């Protein structure tokens, strides 16, 4: 069974949402760091702060990746460098 979550803001509970619904809400700014989430309507409730931290860490990871060919930062999750069009995961044979 897929995991689902409830969100509580200002005393009002909404949901259930899937894990990817919650992630999308965090990324699009629909959910706030101080919103509460729980696996059950009865709690225990935790803030979304940890979820925000995880998603931010993942985005930073991408920002820190650079292309081994031209050295520019790989800003997206795309496998192909947007600078030189090489694929860092499978470099062209020399
Ligand atoms: Zn490149």
pLDDT in tens, 32-82: 999 999 999 999 999 999 999 998 888 777 777 788 889 887 766 667 888
Output the six-digit token pair for 52. Answer: 């925000």
pTM of the model as a whole:
0.64
Distance of CA 73 from the midpoint of ligand 1 (Å):
8
Give the contacts of 63 (CB within 8 A, at least 6 positions apart).
73, 75
Q: Is the pLDDT of residue 1 over 70?
A: no
Distance of CA 88 from the midpoint of ligand 1 (Å):
8
Residue 65 is predicted with a pLDDT of 79
């Amino acid at each position: 069974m897929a995991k689902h979550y409830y969100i509580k803001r200002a005393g009002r509970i909404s949901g259930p949402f899937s894990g990817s619904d919650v992630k999308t809400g965090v990324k699009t700014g629909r959910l706030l760091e101080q919103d509460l989430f729980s696996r059950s309507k009865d709690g225990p409730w935790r803030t979304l702060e940890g979820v925000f931290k995880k998603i931010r860490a993942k985005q930073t990871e991408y920002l820190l990746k650079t292309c081994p060919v031209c050295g520019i930062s790989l800003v997206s999750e795309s496998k192909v460098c947007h600078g030189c069009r090489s694929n860092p995961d499978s470099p062209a044979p020399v």
